[in-house]
Amino acid sequence: MDDRQKMRASDHDRQEVVDRLSGALEDGRLKVDEFEDRVGLAYQAVTDGDLAPLYADLPAAGSRTGREAAPPALAPPACVRWQGVLADLPTTLKVLWTIWLTAMLINVVVWALVSGASAHLVYPWPLWVAGPYGAALFAVSAGVTQIRRGRLSAERRLPPVKG
């Protein structure tokens, strides 16, 4: 082990590693959970040797390994925002949203068939099916998203732990 690996890490060194990990997360090279774990370890690092393994499996900063990133202008901003919302949710909530959407689609199709067969609009009863469950699911999803974002931003603000 060389002397650089034994050198005590500075706050600036830790922040450079966190910035590099953030870039890897944005590139899709790290999953959110793995990113959070590595960021926590980066802020706890005492020496440069503690920091090096956190980015050893990632390409050098700024390198793209011969691939060019798609220009962000090609993807509509609304789609990017929506993908971000879904990406932040745990798998369990994604499954619950899928079940809710499927049930709603079935109810709306049945309502539309009944309305079409009777030749007039029937009372929109699918709203009573969608409303309470959808509102509860939305509240839980919003809460989980806020907790995850708060935890991530709190980890970025934490001062390094002196060991």
Element (H, E) at 96: helix 91-118
DSSP string, 100-122: HHHHHHHHHHHHHHHHHHHTSPP
> pTM to 2 decimals?
0.44
**d(C-alpha 57, C-alpha 49), whole Å:** 15
Quickly state the pLDDT bin for 66 (edges 50, 70, 90).
very low
Quickly state the pLDDT bin for 107 (edges 50, 70, 90).
very high
Instruction: Say if residue 104's pLDDT is above 90.
Output: yes
Quickly state the pLDDT bin for 1 (edges 50, 70, 90).
low
How distant, in Å, are the alpha carbons of 9, 18, 117 from that of 2?
A: 14, 23, 81
Instruction: Say if residue 103's pLDDT is above 70.
Output: yes
The whole-number pLDDT of residue 114 equals 93
Quickly state the pLDDT bin for 147 (edges 50, 70, 90).
confident
In percent, how much of the chain has pLDDT > 90? 15
